[in-house]
């Protein structure tokens, strides 16, 4: 369950950002998760809830936004979006793809109340 470690690291960064902006309470955190990020959204949400108890993040809404796979065909050059793997080019049928998006796990937004 590497999601626990990911959320722990995410909270270290978010705590620093919340302190810099003098937030007394964080009300929501938006995370963009690529389809190929190899994380389970439900486990991320569970870890977030468990690890935020007693912190400025307790009770904050965790908004998980799925990022589809965007790829570029290495044979015909077409860029396309896919819901997962395998990455077959809809133009030429090739499976030689360069992934452009869909592997990320990033914090996109943090909303809170100032002190």
pLDDT by residue, tens only, the chain of 115 residues: 589 999 999 999 999 999 999 999 999 999 999 999 999 999 999 999 999 999 999 999 999 999 999 999 999 999 999 877 889 999 999 999 999 999 999 999 999 998 8
Domain 2-68+101-114 in CATH 3.40.50.1390 = no
Please state the domain extents for the chain.
2-68+101-114
Give the separation between CA 95 and CA 81, rounded to whole angstroms.
Answer: 13
First to last CA, the chain: 35
Q: Please, are residues 90 and 78 in contact by the beta-carbon 8 Å criterion? A: yes
């Amino acid at each position: 369950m590497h999601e626990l470690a990911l959320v722990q690291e995410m909270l270290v960064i978010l705590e620093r950002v919340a302190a810099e902006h003098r937030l007394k309470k964080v009300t929501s955190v938006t995370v963009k998760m690529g389809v190929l990020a190899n994380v389970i959204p439900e486990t991320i949400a569970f870890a977030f809830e468990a690890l935020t108890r007693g912190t400025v993040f307790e009770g904050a809404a965790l908004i998980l936004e799925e990022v589809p796979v965007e790829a570029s065909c290495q044979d015909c050059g077409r860029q396309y979006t896919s819901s997962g793997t395998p990455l077959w080019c809809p133009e030429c049928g090739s499976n030689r793809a360069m992934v452009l998006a869909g592997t990320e796990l990033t914090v996109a937004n943090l909303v809170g109340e100032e002190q």
